[in-house]
Amino acid sequence: IHDLQGRVIGFGGRTLTDEQPKYLNSPETELFDKGKTLFGLDKSRGAIAKQDCAVVVEGYFDVIALHTAGISNVVASLGTALSLAQVRLLLRYTESKQVVLNFDADAAGAKAAERAIGEVADLAYKGEVQLRVLNIPQGKDPDEFLQNHSADDYRALLADSPLWLDWQIQQLLADADLSKADQFQQSTQAIVKLLGNLPNATLRTHYIHRCAELLSRGEARLTLRIEEDLRTQVRGQRWHGRSQKWQTPGDRTLLEESEAQLLRLYLHLSDYRTLITEALEERDIDFSISHHRFLWQQILELQFGAVEGDLVGLLRDRLTEFPDRLIQVTPLFHLDEKTQRDILRAPLVVRAATACMERVLCEKRCRHFLSLWEKTDCALAGELSQYYQQQIYAEKQRIEELDQQERQTTFADLAQVPWVGEFYQSLESVTN
C-alpha cells in the first residue's frame, strides 16, 4: 500500500479461503491511516483527472484486474467502509466530482454501498459529489466480470450506472410486495424519508413523480393520488424536527401563524396596509381561518365606512358584541418580543405569509380537481377528464413555483430566526 508519492506505508492481504476478515492490513501508524488512504490512488489519480471520474471498488484484486485491463481510474478502500475523508481525497482529482461505487453485488456489497452513501450523504444531497452506484449483473465483482468480458463491456456498465438516489430507490423496492398494505406503507415511509432531504425543489418533483409511478405499478389514476400523498408527506418530513422556539401555544399551523402575522402587521403598521391589501389582491387570496376571516371583514367594513381613529381600539369596541370572536383575536391586538421583531421586517413577512396562504389555496384546488378527475369516466368524458388533469398539473406547477420562492424567504424561517444584528431598531422608531 503506497502513499500519493508512491512510498510504501503498509501491506495488505486477502484470505485464500472464506475465513474472516476477508482483507487484513498492517496495523495503523502515524504514516498509515486506513480511513484516509486509498489503494491504488498513487497510480490512478492521473487517469481520474483525465477521465474526470473515479471508480471505487471493494478489493485490491479488483483494482489490479481493472488496471491490467486498461481501466486505470480505479481505487479501493482498505477493507473498511469508504469514509468521507477518502471521498474528499478523490474529489481533488475530478472536476465534475464524479464518483462511482462498484462494490460486490451481494448483500454485503449492498450494505457497504449503503454505508458509503451514508458517509457522503450531505455532499450528495448538496450536489457536491455526483455519486453513482454500479452493481455488476449476476452478483459478480469486477475481477470475475473481466474474466469473461472485455474492458469495453465494463465501461458500458459504468456509463449506465444509476445515480445514488435512483439506486437507493431500487433497493428499497426490490424485495417489496406492494400489493401488501404493510410493505407498501414501509416502502412509502422509506421513500419519504429519502426524498425529504433533497434541497432542490425541481429534483424533488422529479423523484416524487418517479416514485409515484413505481408505487402505483403503472396505474395512471393511482399514480396521481400517490404523487399527491407523497408530496404532502415529503413536505411534512422537510418541516419535521425544526426548532419550535418561536411557535405559539396550541401548536398552531403554519397557515394560521402566517395569517395572524399578516393581520398583526395590518393592525399595528398603517404604512403597510396598502402593501398587504395589494398583495392579497394580486395573489387572489383570502383568509382561511374563520376568526381571521371574521376580523378581516370587520376591518374592511370600518375602512369602507371611513371611520377614523385607532384601528385596534375601534375593533375592540366593535367586537364586544361578539365575545367569542373577541377572545380569539385579542392576541393580535398586542405585541410581544417576537412579534415586535417581525414588525421590524414587515416587507419580508408580508411576502412570505401571502406565499404561504396562496400555497394552501393551490393545494385545496389541486385536491378538488383530483377528486373530480377520479370520479370522471375517461371513456365517456375524455375532454372533461383531460381538463381536470390540466388543472391538476397547473396547480402543482404553481406550488413548485412557490416552493422555489421558499428558498429565498419562508415564513417558517422568519418565525424561527430571531431578528439580531446592527440593524435592530426599537419598535418606537419604526411606528413613530
How far is CA 395 from each of CA 219, 234, 398, rounded to the nearest angstrom? 22, 17, 5
Residues whose CB falls within 8 Å of the CB of residue 310, separated by 6 or more in sequence, listed in order:
none
My answer on whether 395 and 298 are in the same domain is: yes
Whether 5 maps to a domain, the answer reads no
Whether 159 maps to a domain, the answer reads yes
My answer on whether 134 and 23 are in the same domain is: yes
Residues of the chain with pLDDT under 70: 139, 236-252, 305-309, 337-339, 341-343, 378-379, 405-432
Domain limits for position 316: 254-416
Whether 244 maps to a domain, the answer reads no
Instruction: Say how far apart CA 354 and CA 288 lie, in whole Å.
Output: 12
Q: Is 306 left (phi over 0), alpha (psi -120 to 50) or beta?
A: left
Whether 248 maps to a domain, the answer reads no
My answer on whether 409 and 327 are in the same domain is: yes
My answer on whether 365 and 225 are in the same domain is: no
My answer on whether 163 and 262 are in the same domain is: no
Counting the structural domains of the chain, the total is 3
Query: What pLDDT score was predicted for residue 418?
Result: 45
My answer on whether 313 and 378 are in the same domain is: yes
- Looking from the CA of 362 toward its CB, the CA atoms found within 13 Å total 21
My answer on whether 162 and 284 are in the same domain is: no
Whether 226 maps to a domain, the answer reads yes
B/e letters for 384-395, b = 16+ CB within 10 Å, e = fewer, are ebeebbebbeeb
DSSP 127-193: TSSEEEE---GGG--HHHHHTTS-HHHHHHHHHTPPBHHHHHHHHHHHT--TTSHHHHHHHHHHHHH
Query: What pLDDT score was predicted for residue 406?
Result: 58
User: How many C-beta neighbours within 10 Å does residue 33 have?
Assistant: 14
B/e letters for 225-255, b = 16+ CB within 10 Å, e = fewer, are bbbbebbebbbebbeeeeeeebeeeeeeebb
CATH number at residue 24: 3.40.1360.10
- The pLDDT tens digits for 393-403 are 888 888 888 87
Whether 425 maps to a domain, the answer reads no
